[in-house]
């Protein structure tokens, strides 16, 4: 089977039917499957953070996130990669707020980078890492307010 390079992506090979193969396929499987938050969860998050959260991509059952042993999620700019399902993620209110805090208040603000996170973790360990402490403190303080914005079941 002959591969062609797409003009749109420039570097990811496709087969004749237009399906990604090679690196694109491997990276897609590592990232997981996109999870769309229920509208009531999105609305509650936007109330808590006082900004739109629609630009944050959530990927569930990410193999990349699972490589971070013992962690249920990891973040990158505008992206949350989950080791768990999306349903488990939204059911854990503190985890949800914690991860959105990383993306909205640390990555977007330019305070968090991969290099800074690695250096801070090497210096203080994961539990005492200032980025993790700040996210945990925010989530603990905001969880009741967040629950107040959710519809009553």
Tens digits of residue pLDDT in 8-54: 444 444 444 444 444 444 445 567 899 999 999 999 999 999 999 99
Contact 5, 20 (CB under 8 A): no
Confidence at 69, pLDDT banded by 50, 70, 90: confident
pLDDT tens track for 136-150: 999 999 999 999 999
For Cα atoms 104, 56, 64, give the angle at the middle one, nearest 5 degrees. 100
**pLDDT on residue 4:** 44
**pLDDT on residue 17:** 43
| DSSP-based helix, strand, coil % in the chain, nearest 5 | 50, 15, 35
pLDDT tens track for 81-135: 999 999 999 999 999 999 999 999 999 999 999 999 999 999 999 999 999 999 9
**pLDDT on residue 18:** 45
Helix or strand or coil: residue 13? strand
Neighbours of 19 (CB within 10 A): 10
| 57 to 14, 41, 80: CA distances (angstroms) | 24, 14, 6
Helix or strand or coil: residue 80? strand
Question: What residue ranges do the domains of the chain occupy?
Answer: 1-31, 32-149
**pLDDT on residue 32:** 82
- Radius of gyration in angstroms for the set of CA atoms belonging to the chain, rounded to a whole number: 18
Neighbours of 91 (CB within 10 A): 11
Neighbours of 153 (CB within 10 A): 3
What is the sign of the dihedral through the CA atoms of 10, 11, 12 and 13?
positive
């Amino acid at each position: 089977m002959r591969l062609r390079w797409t003009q749109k992506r420039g570097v990811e090979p496709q087969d004749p039917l237009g399906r990604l193969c090679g690196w694109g396929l491997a990276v897609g499987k590592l990232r997981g499957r996109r999870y769309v938050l229920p509208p009531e969860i999105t609305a509650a998050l936007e109330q808590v953070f006082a900004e739109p959260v629609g630009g944050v991509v959530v990927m569930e059952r990410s193999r990349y996130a699972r490589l971070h042993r013992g962690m249920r999620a990891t973040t990158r700019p505008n992206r949350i990669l989950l080791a768990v399902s999306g349903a488990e993620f939204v059911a854990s209110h503190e985890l949800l707020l914690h991860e959105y805090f990383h993306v909205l208040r640390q990555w977007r603000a330019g305070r968090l980078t991969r290099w800074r996170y690695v250096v801070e973790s090497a210096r203080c360990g994961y539990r005492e890492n200032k980025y993790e402490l700040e996210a945990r403190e925010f989530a603990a303080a905001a969880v009741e307010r967040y629950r107040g914005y959710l519809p009553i079941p």
